[in-house]
Amino acid sequence: MASFDEMREAGDIETIWQNGEFVDWDEATTHVLTHGLHYGTGVFEGARAYDTENGTAVFRWEEHLDRFYASGKPYEMEVPFSRDELTEATLELLRRQDLQSAYIRPIAFFGYNSLGVSPEGCPTDVAIAAWPWGAYLGEDALKNGIDVMVSSWRKHSSSQIPTNAKTTGLYVNSLLAGEEARRNGYAEAIVLNKEGQVAEGPGENIFLVRDGEIYTPGLSQSILDGITRDTVITLAREEGYTVHDQATISRGELHTADELFFTGSAAEVTPIRQVDNVQIADGNRGPITEDLQSAFFDLVERKTDAHDDWFTYI
């Protein structure tokens, strides 16, 4: 992905919606003593808009909003804008920047007022940005897959921190796992939960294929309930596959899988070809992965009429 400065120079990004107003990209700032900056007290989403045969559309925006508002609940954070206001702000943001396809980042965080651990008295600031973003793990990865490692860092338990809230501060766990993988020559990491079972990737859910059936860790395994995860489960069942969506997967099962792949709003559907230098099957994208990848991209590009209610059009 190009840097934001490069995108600015190219004229691809111009404005951000912040607390009810559209502001110049360079003026979307916050105070250095903002509560969320010091304590990670923010929630966010990552959604995509696709250039479809029916025009630009945000994929599963309503579900992203559901999770956005729900993520704030454990922190008693109330987003001071309605769903309609956030939706119109997002669509207008895409229009103003003439973005046919984009990655969309809504964020809410406790703002500037005081700096005790308690956010009492701090406002909830909200912003939405959108920018062009291709394949998160690279265009080649979508076809040929990626090499990953099992991280030495474990995913925290839901009894410690809410795992189903998309909280800004929690992504230091993802950062540690992902950077460890990249330092060791891998594209991404797989994170185990505290019991040593497979949880997810730093920013992705994981799926395993064995004997023609599909397995993915359940919510009890300390995963984020991914929206792309739900999409792929739905598409797989519609294609006639058996999907075990509350599976417990051991580390050893990764190496003996017929196929593995990641899903996520950023990663979309990305095959995994090696884990810890152990080749998965023949090292190529598997047939079920390819089938589901095709179904996913046919859907989001609106080459099929299915699930039109999953799209919010400009």
| pLDDT over threshold 90, residue 139 | no
Pairwise CA distance, residues 303 & 310, whole Å: 14
**Average pLDDT score over residue span 49-78:** 96
pLDDT of residue 135: 77
Pairwise CA distance, residues 306 & 219, whole Å: 27
What are 78-110's pLDDT values in tens digits?
A: 999 999 999 999 999 999 999 999 999 999 999
Q: Name the region of 227 (left: φ>0; alpha: ψ -120 to 50; beta: rest).
A: alpha
pLDDT of residue 138: 77
- Grade residue 1 by pLDDT with cuts at 50, 70 and 90: confident
- Report the SS3 class of residue 133: coil
**Average pLDDT score over residue span 292-300:** 97
| pLDDT over threshold 80, residue 261 | yes
Q: How many CB atoms lie within 10 A of CB 95?
A: 11
- Grade residue 260 by pLDDT with cuts at 50, 70 and 90: very high
**Average pLDDT score over residue span 27-34:** 98
- Report the SS3 class of residue 268: strand
CB 88 within 8 A of CB 313: no
State the chain's mean pLDDT as an integer: 96
| pLDDT over threshold 90, residue 44 | yes
What are 169-195's pLDDT values in tens digits?
A: 999 999 999 999 999 999 999 999 999
- Grade residue 208 by pLDDT with cuts at 50, 70 and 90: very high
**Average pLDDT score over residue span 11-31:** 97
What are 66-75's pLDDT values in tens digits?
A: 999 999 999 9
Task: Give me the torsion for CA of 148, 150, 152, 155, rounded to 10°.
Answer: 110
Pairwise CA distance, residues 46 & 169, whole Å: 15
**Average pLDDT score over residue span 123-128:** 98
User: Residues of the chain with pLDDT > 90: what percent?
Assistant: 96
CB 95 within 8 A of CB 314: yes
CA-wise closest residue to 274 among 149, 167, 157, 183? 149
Pairwise CA distance, residues 124 & 122, whole Å: 7
Report how far apart the first and last C-alpha atoms of the chain are (Å, whole number).
25
pLDDT of residue 120: 96
| pLDDT over threshold 80, residue 136 | no
Q: What are the residue numbers of the active site?
A: 166
